[in-house]
Structure 1
Amino acid sequence: MTLGDERETSGGYAGTGQTRTRLPESGADVYGGARRGGRTSSRSLVTVVGVVVLLIAAIAFANRGGDDSGSAIGDENQPNSSSTAASGSRPVAGKAGGIPAGFAQDEVGAQSAAANYAVALGSADMFDKAKRDAILQAIITPSRIPEFETTLDQAYTPAFNKNVGLNDDGSTPTGYTFVSRTSPIGTKVTEASTNNATVEVWCSGLLGLAGENSTNPVTNSWFTITMKLEWTNGDWKIVTHSQKDGPTPVPGDERASSADEMAKAVDEYGGFTYAR
């Protein structure tokens, strides 16, 4: 979940380029018996993940040209198969601070890095000062780390923690499970050179407290993160980060899961390492 607000604001089977998550169905309860719709909590997620962007220079980007998906019929509305096809590249083997590392110095590597970094920045660990600093050390370009740390320290205040249902110190209230996850849906390179790349990551996010009496139930939001990356010390690192709302699909007919089911899912289902 974590940086951006222009409104600007954490993965997949390695090598597939795609991940789909579906929560279990259940009967209605106080926690969630209604269909998912637009909710103010999505704004909370945007604020959490993106507050930093207000103080970071916005990234200018242009749509990437070129289309190698030629259609024999010439249907211009037909989707480009390469946009969702797996690249076939092997996933990274290394990690830095628990976060995937050692990405290839090419566009595919930049996309994989951006997707995994989105997961890290949207994780519950960002609400813990020590863990947050460790994440920044692993994914931010060295020269920008102090700025990111300062800005995020100013964002994750006791008041903000209370606003999302946590204790003032960022800890989870007894009897509840805190959920903060970002799941990349797809990636796109908009600018690229040997040592620099701008990557957009379309994401779905979860944020809230799972618990029978929670006043901040886990809700879903959709947003697109834009990261400017540079090749530093043998890996891609973030220079700037921004976020905007959407694209957002029409909500389905599934009923929201109970508080117990949501808490159990968070405990039992781990994340992925994303590879384009």
Structure 2
Amino acid sequence: MSLGDGESGQTRTRMPEGGGDLYGGARRGGRRSSSRSLVTVVGVVVLLIAAIAFANRGGGDSGTEGDSADAPKAAATAPSGEKPVDSKAAGIPSGFAHDRQGAESAAANYSVALGSAEMFDKNRRSEIVSTVYAPDVAAARQADLDKAYSNTEFLGKIGLDKNGKAPAGQTFVSRVIPVGTKVTASGADSATVEVWYTSLFGLSGEGSTSPVTESWYTTTYQLKWINNDWKVTDFQQKDGPVPVGRDQQASTADDMTKAVEEYGGFTYAR
């Protein structure tokens, strides 16, 4: 099936779930401290890039093989009314449609998984990586990811112990909230999908030295159709677009912790 067969609308309709461990949410925050480059650039998905950057170099696989010369142009976002997937693999939405909408949905949901606090848990990280990445890519990069996420110097600077755990009485927050997606190139079994999202990263709780902050990024995913689902083969990330922050008072540590614990997440689907 050609990816060009999908609808031309390009958006996310966020469908709520009854539970699960994928989370969403948003908070405005205008803080810009000198530690931003460390926390927000190394944190969330950027940490993945730091871990596997050298592994990506030299591969020469841009993920654009088979891209259609007449790939659909980006369009304004609008809901399609399509139902979200109803299956999961390792707790991550799976079984996406073999079309443009399916590729967009996969990229958005994979962003949530790769940007979650669960990536700081070794066992859970292994499950996420093996589910999201193409088999050969996951096997080649697992060791590099483990090394990055167990870097004690980095963990210490963001307030976590050597096992990636938050101090007693504090909650570690790492969430990605997709805002929109677009397909920039597509073929029968490949797609390049950009995901624009905001992220929350930091420690919530009294005495936190790394309060939860908000950042904005766009990640471009190279996807391939493998074993009846979309899988990531490579990605690149850049800052922004970043909206102008409003003058809103930051929530208390108690309110932030409560929100993180009580607000569940979504399966992202067009």
Match in the other structure for 1:243: 237
Match in the other structure for 2:251: 257
Corresponding position: 1:133 with 2:126: yes
Q: Map 1:1-276; keep pairs closer than 5 Å.
A: 13-14=14-15, 21-23=25-27, 36-39=30-33, 40-41=35-36, 43-48=38-43, 49-50=45-46, 51-55=50-54, 56-57=56-57, 59=62, 82-156=75-149, 157-276=151-270
Provide the secondary structure at the position in 2 that maps to 1:228: strand
Provide the secondary structure at the position in 1 that maps to 2:257: helix
- Whether the 8 Å CA contact 1:140–1:237 is kept in 2: the answer is yes
TM-score, with normalisation over the residues of structure 2?
0.81
- Whether the 8 Å CA contact 2:63–2:190 is kept in 1: the answer is no
Show structure 2 runs of 5+ residues with no match. Answer: 1-11, 17-23
Please state how far the C-alpha of 1:38 moved relative to its aligned partner.
Answer: 2.9
Please state how far the C-alpha of 1:59 moved relative to its aligned partner.
Answer: 4.5
Show structure 1 runs of 5+ residues with no match. Answer: 1-10, 25-34, 68-79
TM-score, with normalisation over the residues of structure 1?
0.80
Deviates more, 1:44-53 or 1:174-183: 44-53
Distance in 1, matches of 2:52 and 2:232, equals 13
- Whether the 8 Å CA contact 2:13–2:79 is kept in 1: the answer is no
- Whether the 8 Å CA contact 2:175–2:200 is kept in 1: the answer is yes
Give aligned pairs, total.
239
Amino acid at match of 2:262: E
CA RMSD, Structure 1 to Structure 2 (Å) = 2.5
Distance in 1, matches of 2:70 and 2:213, equals 33
Distance in 1, matches of 2:172 and 2:70, equals 38
Please state how far the C-alpha of 1:37 moved relative to its aligned partner.
Answer: 3.4
Amino acid at match of 1:194: A
- Whether the 8 Å CA contact 1:12–1:272 is kept in 2: the answer is no
Match in the other structure for 2:3: none
